[in-house]
A and B are shown apart, each in its own frame.
Chain A
Amino acid sequence: MKSDASSSSFFEEDKESTGQKPNTDHNIDSIDYSLDAIENQLSSIALNTSIDEETPSIADDHHEPVTDANVSEMERERLMNSTGESNLSRETGVWRNGSEVEVDGATSSRCSSGYAGEMGTSSGTASASGADDIQELRNNSSSVDNDGEVSHSAQSQWVPGKRHMDEDDTCMSWRQRKKHFFVLSHSGKPIFSRYGNEHKLAGFSATLQAIISFVENGGDRVKLVRAGKHQVVFVVKGPIYLVCISCTEESYESLNRQLELLYGQMVLILTKSVNKCFERNPKFDMTPLLGGTDAVFSSLFHSFSWNPATFLHAYTCLPLPCTTRQAAAAILQDVSDSSVVYSMLMCQHKVVSLVGTRKAPLHPDDLLLLANFVMSSESFRTSESFSPICLPRYNSMAFLHAYVHYFDVDTYLVLLTSNSDAFFHLKDCRRRIENVLLKSNVLSDIQRSILEGGMRVENLPVYPSARYGSLFQNEPRLQESLIGGPAGLLHFIYHCVNLEQYVSSEFSPPITNHQNQKRLYRAYQKLYASMHDKETGPHKTQFKRDENYVLLCWVTQDFELYAAFDPLADKGLAIKICNRVCQWVKDVEHEIFLQVESPFAW
């Protein structure tokens, strides 16, 4: 297949090959269905474009197909509801199905914009981040933590999307990026690269493939290559190879986990049934299937530098008064029926409420990937959407359907169903939910929590006897002038193991800019990895002092506490403060954790 194959040409070829085997077995049928599902997935993501009449029906092993009529009805519905038709995201072109010209156009314009040998001089096409180029290069980043992230002072200013499309492996600038992610097929075809143009990285991709298969031929499997400050981490997932090349000082375990999440994010978009395409055609070109998802991946990579959920295997809740969360939970519970697998009200990446009708609780990783997908896809914000997604930990082979609706810029509702016909039902559910949320002031409480909520180290009760009843008592903030908390406490993360939830304190001075936050995040990440070593862990306690922090970690069966202090903090005092943090968390647990049926055991 030609490298510029668009999604539609892929499907043509696919049909052809099916045609060659008229008596296909069931398995092959399901492959086709899966492919159709993938195609449909892309079309549904691209809600802002009209859906082709010939869009094949969706079908996986478990779900009813969405009929053409349904789709067009859905589309009409969307048009009726859409208030932001003119605010189309700029990438919608590449999101949509059947837009061969646009996909090709996008690709070819990238390709033509400065090939090899220019050594990074062609900055004209290098997207919105020209100003970040210098910081992204290893040479110039004396600050240890810069791995090629856009380092604005505030996280909210980070702009998702792929950068440095004009680079390839011959560019010095490309070689000096601090953290690369690659996805390739087992035949060495590039599928995705964080930096640079996949098509220009074919040679490089083939090298990676050669390394992996060389070791495989020797009856082994390569996991890690280390060279100076660089680590090359390999993960093999069937026909898909994932590689990270990094000089960020993160541990092997962390990088490995990030590749697992990257793979999970791909499965969320395509399901694992994409493997079958490779079984049938080893040279299958997967790139077009991921067209337009750059923002999803760049946002995931960004979360590797600030979101503790990426290493903790837990999610976090938006702190809310108990009654508010109960009100939200009640209405979610109310709309839940046999067709809704999970329903969740989210505020950014934090959970407001989460209800599952099945016994299988939603895996924190699935939640992380789903939230990332929803938040990074601009089209979800502009109108209500009904999109096939796969939860890798729930069922990696099949699509569910996600009804997504934003109530305001931060707060959104996700209803997951296995029924592809459920759009109108879910839309109805949403209306009921919205009514209740408005009536019971849940949405305004959420906004208030964003502004004022959360645990701040400077508010840690100073006296052991002091008890906090609530985070929302409207007390005057104590000790505003204090830098950090008592005894040099800078930050903490409390992970409640049974609930698979964590709470992290708000960032207080001096950890206010993204660089500092990232450094702290990396320190926690390393601490987590060393506590949970596969062979010797989990350890019980760790005290670590380096030039940046004193870190204390406690791991018990019920909870894990990670706390960061000033590097000059006194050990004995730090231990006392940690105990106090645990007490504080216990005092306000009903506001920071989502309580599930089994009571939280202390």
Chain B
Amino acid sequence: MGLSSAATTTTPSDLLKFCIFDLRRGQHEGEELEKILFFFPADLPFPAQLSVIGLSEGLITFTRIFSPEAACEVIEADMHSHVFFEAEPDIWMVMVVAKSKETEAIWRIEALRSVLKEIHSLFVMFHGSIRVLLDKEPGGGLTRSHLFTFIMDYLTDFLTGNKFTLPNFRDSLKERGTVQMLTVGREAAIEVQSLVGVLDSCMANTLGYSVILFQDLLVSTTLTPDDTTNLFSYGTLRLTPRILSSGGTSTWSYLRKGNVPSQAELASRSANTLSALDGFRDPSSDNYRIVRPLQHGKWSKGKDGFLVTDIWGVEVGNLVPTTPTLWLQQTEHKMYLCVYQHKSLTIILLIPVTSMLNGEEGISMLKQQLLENASAKIFKVEEKLAKGWGGENAYHVKGYRYLLVDGDRNISRASPPGKVTTLAKESLLALNKVREDFDLEKNRGNVDAVNHEKDLEICIRAKNNAWVIARSTRGKQLYILLEKANETLLYASEAVEKFSDRYCNGAFSLD
């Protein structure tokens, strides 16, 4: 049985529905199914699928009467939240999640929307925009097949048992769609800088880019912030040593789930996804060769230190895997993806396809060059970083549970997940609510350019005596939970001030 049907038999389809539809398609009666580009669960009867899409479409139209510039973003009903995201003009992603106090299904809408955003940006990175795919093949089969495999592969990450665990209030001290940085000392920073120079010279005149990760943290990037975020997401999802070591010992990550299921398990899930697709695919689209960049267990480390995968196919004849490619978001350039790993250090190189006239051959030459010229440097940098690395609790600040988001640079830092689990449920629920209020203020600020970057400070002493503190200033946000704090407001404020001075360069200090 496929994943989708497995999910629906064991957990009611009520828990999660997820669809993508195109408002430009299926405008005539009887052609409504044309609109649907993706639907989960796929085995939900078509009338039920159309009813979800009908309601969404109706509300998009309705809300435009009053708010032409921003159509429907969310529907809150007693039992469900419907989260909307217009991924591309007229192409909508809608996620319907059931609410339940018992199962801790208490959501923050923006956290769910950031899942939709991540899915879309990763999809575009590997397959290009949905609209372009639809234009390429107006029948829609190509797009549907791609979306289905891609999203199902993505969703496996949220599976615990046979239930989807989407980010809920327990993830209030996380920010999806941001990058987590490694703090490095001055000496190490110089080494890293010089490594970036060497990598640049390896790519010679190809105008390539490099991204360096240490564990699940970003060390350096030459990409634009958006592309960095996408590649960082992909890296932490599929490429880092934590992932490749098949759920072994070191299983922490700031954003991703703490416990990685074994590679074999995930691989089998992925395989199931594909078989589920068989029932979904319409016969005309059977012949698409679908690249599944998010398929589990498909990346492995080669003898030379480069990561290999057959996701992008295998060259006919010599069984050498084809080098992966992806698209840059801003320039829309197609790039080769080369990943080299040494211990905890992952180096991602992106080389423009157009500048590699001799294709795969050129890539092998480049790899060779890298091994010859950069490996010594790489070893050195890895050693330096590993020495300075404080382990998974490196960014823990005693007494504090925090999340710091720099919206301008798309960076966040947070208390390690292991420390967040010590917090009481009530504290996290209160924080979740405060974050929701902040999200609303932020969204209003975005609509209203004048109010952008509102300075805002909220300190709440919750029912359980925890202090929930949220600060926003000049594009940065700081969220702090203090559970064992003194009862006075001044004490709590002082604690924040100290934190700000020490860890945020005083960005949130009053003076």
Contact = CB atoms under 8 A, between A and B. Distances in A.
Contacts of B454: 546-547
Nearest to A217: B51
B384 interface: no
CB-based closest 3 A-B pairs: A228-B70, A227-B63, A541-B461
A537 B464 CA distance: 10
A536 B108 CA distance: 14
Contacts of A230: 63, 66-67, 70
A247 B66 CA distance: 9
Interface in B57-80: 58-59, 62-67, 69-80
A79 interface: no
Given A214-B55, A544-B457, A546-B455, A225 B74 contact: yes
A545 B75 contact: no
Interface string B427-462: 001100110010000011001101000111111111
A54 interface: no
B490 interface: yes
A535 B428 CA distance: 12
Contacts of A540: 461-463, 465
Contacts of B73: 226-228
Contact of A227 (B71, B448, B450): B71
B83 to A, nearest CB: 10
Contact of B66 (A223, A227, A249, A533): A227
Contacts of B434: 530
Nearest to B426: A536
Contacts of B76: 222-226, 252
A245 to B, nearest CB: 6
B421 interface: no
B63 A225 contact: yes
Q: Which residue among B59, B71, B429 has the maximum number of chain A CB atoms within 10 Å of its CB?
A: B59
B489 interface: yes
Given A229-B444, A542-B460, 16 more contacts: A142-B450, A169-B65, A224-B74, A225-B75, A227-B72, A228-B69, A228-B70, A228-B73, A228-B443, A229-B70, A232-B62, A249-B444, A535-B429, A537-B463, A542-B458, A571-B490
Q: Which residue among A228, A232, A533, A539 has the maximum number of chain B CB atoms within 10 Å of its CB?
A: A228
B350 interface: no
A221 interface: yes
A89 to B, nearest CB: 34
B457 A227 contact: no
Interface of A: 142, 169, 175, 207, 210-211, 214-215, 218-230, 232, 245, 247, 249, 252, 530-531, 533, 535-547, 571-572, 575
A536 B437 contact: no
A575 B459 CA distance: 13
A342 B364 CA distance: 92
19 contacts: A214-B51, A218-B51, A224-B74, A224-B75, A225-B72, A226-B73, A228-B67, A228-B71, A228-B447, A232-B63, A249-B444, A531-B460, A536-B462, A539-B461, A539-B462, A540-B461, A542-B461, A543-B493, A572-B490
Contacts of A219: 79
B195 interface: no
B101 to A, nearest CB: 8
B106 interface: yes
B329 to A, nearest CB: 24
B457 A226 contact: no
B458 A543 contact: yes
Interface in B388-430: 426, 429-430
Q: Which residue among B63, B67, B454, B459 has the maximum number of chain A CB atoms within 10 Å of its CB?
A: B67
A332 B459 CA distance: 46
Q: Which residue among A175, A221, A533, A537 has the maximum number of chain B CB atoms within 10 Å of its CB?
A: A533
B473 to A, nearest CB: 10
Contacts of A249: 444
B463 A541 contact: no
A70 to B, nearest CB: 47
Contacts of B443: 228
Contacts of A169: 65
B449 to A, nearest CB: 12
Contacts of A539: 430, 460-463
Contacts of B62: 207, 211, 225, 232
Interface in B72-118: 72-80, 101, 106
A230 B456 CA distance: 22
Contacts of B459: 541-544
A211 B58 contact: yes
A222 B75 contact: yes
A457 B22 CA distance: 58
Given A227-B63, A227-B73, A530 B437 contact: yes
A552 B144 CA distance: 53
Nearest to A222: B77
B490 A575 contact: yes
B78 to A, nearest CB: 4
A222 B493 CA distance: 39
Contacts of A225: 59, 62-63, 72, 74-76
Nearest to A249: B444
Nearest to A204: B65
Nearest to A546: B456
A535 B51 CA distance: 31
Contacts of B77: 215, 220-223
A175 B65 CA distance: 7
A547 B489 contact: no
Contacts of A252: 76
A229 to B, nearest CB: 5
Nearest to B455: A547
A543 B54 CA distance: 43
A535 B462 CA distance: 12
Contacts of B433: 530, 533, 535-536
Contacts of B457: 543-546
A95 to B, nearest CB: 32
Contacts of A530: 433-434, 437, 460
Interface in B196-231: none
A245 B62 CA distance: 11
A227 B72 CA distance: 4
A167 B429 CA distance: 44
Interface string B487-511: 0011001000000000000000000
B70 A227 contact: yes
A207 B62 CA distance: 8
Nearest to B109: A226
Given A211-B59, A227-B72, A543-B457, A220 B79 contact: yes
Given A220-B78, A221-B78, A539-B430, A229 B463 contact: no
Contacts of A229: 67, 70, 444, 447-448
Given A222-B77, A536-B430, A539-B430, A227 B463 contact: no
Contacts of A536: 426, 429-430, 433, 462-463
Contacts of B78: 220-221, 223
Contact of A541 (B69, B455, B489): B489
Contacts of B65: 169, 175
A218 B437 CA distance: 29
Contacts of A224: 74-76
A478 B104 CA distance: 56
B245 to A, nearest CB: 39
A245 B66 contact: yes
A226 to B, nearest CB: 5
A225 B79 CA distance: 14
B79 A227 contact: no
Contacts of B447: 228-229
B79 to A, nearest CB: 5
B70 to A, nearest CB: 3
A214 B66 CA distance: 20
A245 B64 CA distance: 12
Contact of A575 (B67, B430, B458, B489): B489
Contacts of B490: 571-572, 575
A535 B437 CA distance: 14
